[in-house]
Each structure stands twice: as C-alpha cells, then as structure tokens.
Structure 1
C-alpha cells in the first residue's frame, strides 16, 4: 500500500549539502545575503546534481556539497582518514591491507571514519556480504570499479556515502540493503544490476536517504522503500529519489510505503 508520494521537479526547495558555516538562522539579513552570494559563486554544486561530482568545488572530500534531498546533510568519511584500495582480492576472515574490506573495517575503527578511494579500475568479487560502517565514503570517481557476488549491507549506521561504482550479480540478495534504523545515507551515481531480491532496499526504520543519478536494471524487482504494511516503524521513512534510470524491471520502480518520498525525474 502506497501511503504518500510527493512528485516534484528540481527546485530551490530540494535541500543541498552545501552549508555556509558562518551562516546561522539568527544571523542578520546582511549575513544571509552574503551566504547566498557565496552559494551563487559555485552554481555547479547547487544547480545540477548530475554534473556536480566532477566540479571544482566538489573535489575529494568536498563531494558532500553535491548531496541533495533528505540526505543533504551527509558528510560520510570527510572527517576521517583517506584510504586507497589497491588490490581486488577479498578475505572476510582476515582482510588484507589494501583491500576494500580492510578499508571498510578501518572506517568502523577510526575516529571520523574513512574516505575510501581506488588506485585503479578493478573488479572486486566479494566472498561474503560487506558490512558498511558509519562515517564511511566509498568514492569510485576517476576509475571503473565493479563489486560483485555479495550485497553491501548498512545496518544501524549513519552518515554514509556510496558513490560512482557498480554493484552487480549479487545472487539471491539485493545489491544495497539499508535497514534497521540506518539514516543519513546518500547513494549516488551507482550502477546496480542483476540481483534476485531486488536492487536497493531501504526499510526497518531507516530514514533520511537519497538515491540519485543511479542506473538500476533488473529483470523483475527494482527498488523497495519499506517492506511491509506491518512494519509501522517505517512511518518515519523519508527518501529522495532523484534522476535515476529504472531499466528493464517489471515492478518496484520504486515501490514506496509510508510517510514521505520525493520522486524527481
């Protein structure tokens, strides 16, 4: 049962991730004007979320300036350490330094999390599901990264950015599973394909999620926002779905339950 869907186009009411740290609600009108002028100087970070990722004002850890919608306040691992993936193997029990799994686990242990990038293009075949921790960014800009075989799972986490890579062929699962109260999650410029249970799911009390600029292709199920009418905890669910391509699916493009969704096409 679909309770409420808000259909709208891109406009100034969509929250961006850019904030002037010197501007506060109690500031004078002159300060407010100064803040607006500062934003006007960087239109590529505010006007077109599709092109923002490669703009000069979004380089490196400035990427959260491009975030929009309900996850517009996300920072991911911007306050944490840089980590570069330079090998494609995977060992769930003893992750080796240089692997993606080692970097994701490092984010869970480090103050401020981690900003994970890739040295070169690679295909990473996961041997077990990858549990993404709070304050993590996985940033695939500049290379072609494909993650395959297992799901990326976000359980009870907050402040996560997954950006510019592929998650494909995950078998009897979905590709990205956001659940159990996770919040402030930005999924952007992802390609998700070929998963038996669907592609992206957001459920079980998770909220403040943005899914933007993604290519989502599956023979049957696509994107599920809230799993069951009995899951009343999903009454807090807030998701922005912005400029995504839902391709070749028969249902869930997306399927929405409870509360508030912004669908921007």
Structure 2
C-alpha cells in the first residue's frame, strides 16, 4: 500500500538533520542487496496523462508480465491494454493501487555495482511498461553514480545517466533540475542537489528526462526523445516498492527492450 508519509533519507541514514546530497555509507551498497543505498537516493517518477502507464514486470511469484502490441503513434490507443489511468486530481496525482496490478505500488527494479574504471558505485533504477508506441514491452530508467570525493567511504550522488531511445546522456547530479529530501519538500520544484531526483517519462516512448517538454507533440509522435511530451500529471516514488532485478528471470524475453538484470551498469 502507499505510504502515508514520505521517509526522508536523513531517517534512512540515521541523521538528525537533512543536508544537501547526504552521503551514503559504503556498506549500504552491499548489505541486503544494497536496498538501503537504493532507498537513500530513490527517484520520483512522473508521467503525463494519456500514456501507457507503468506496470509490474512480474507478479511476485516468478511469473513474467506479458507485453502488449504497440499502437504505432495512434493517439487514441497509447494507453490501450495498459494499466488503468487513475482519475486525474491535479498535478502530481498519485499512481498506486491500480486495478489488475499485483502490488499496491508499481515496482522500480534496481541493481547496483562497484565500477573500478572510475571508482564509482552505481545503481540502476528501471521501470517496466507493457509497450511503448513502437514496440511490445518497454524498459526505461536511469543509472545513478556515486563518488567519494573525500576518500572516506562516504559516497555522494555525482551524476545520472539517462535512457533516451538508445542514447545515454549523462548529467552532473548538482545540475538535476528538481530534487527533494522527503516529507517537507516533495511537491516542490527547482531545488538542486537534494537526496532524491525527480524524473519525467515521455508520453510516446517513455524516454527519461529531468525536465518537461509541453510546447509540442502532445498528440503526435515526436521526431526525437527530446521532443517527447512530458510533465507531472502523475507520480509515484520508487522508494515505495524497490525490487531487486534478480527477481526477473534470466531467460525472460522482452523483445526490443533490455531488462535491468541484463545490463552491465559499468558500461552503461
């Protein structure tokens, strides 16, 4: 079920005050499949109305979710055979307790690893959709990097790599447009370098961005991911249901999509 309050990462780390980009102890990336580290930086996801909404990729009992056929830019069918879109209650309408979904909160699938090439810990956060406009099954998300600038085993968020239709641009964490710490600021925008980033899925292809695009292509296919319509109509916080990518079957096939259990995050 949806949490009734947001848990700030200061609580997760046992801190008494909330600071910008709170460091994460190195052992949290390895203990209990790195769940506490993933929680400490868990992103908020936003979707526009009219898109194919996110789904669980499995049912919790080892069964894969079936994808559905694409709509090929038919604006009237973007959400066809996808989870029901909740009644819109204004910006940042909550996306949870969706009929037909196996979990009260749609999962974000994560995995982590240490990359010796640049001395970073990395966490991949990925969300499953039953389709995008052009193909059955769709996986989209980001890889977050963590560095230890003081060499003291306290790791801070350093950059984000975005999945954008096969392109993977990287952005410094301090430049991410919208971040928040927890209960008191999760509805706000334009706060920089706080613990949890806000990301926005495109309407047609679900490419991931840290900004909006509302000036064009709301009802027609965009020519590129940068032009894909996106805003904050709906939201869910990945913290509510982080599932390790190991729950995904190694032999499951997702068509053109690449599931996080098959991604080398050090070469992302």
In the superposition, the TM-score normalised over structure 2's length comes to 0.25
Larger proportion of strand: 1
Q: Comparing both chains, which one has the higher relative contact order based on Cα–Cα distances under 8 Å and sequence gaps of 6 or more? A: 2
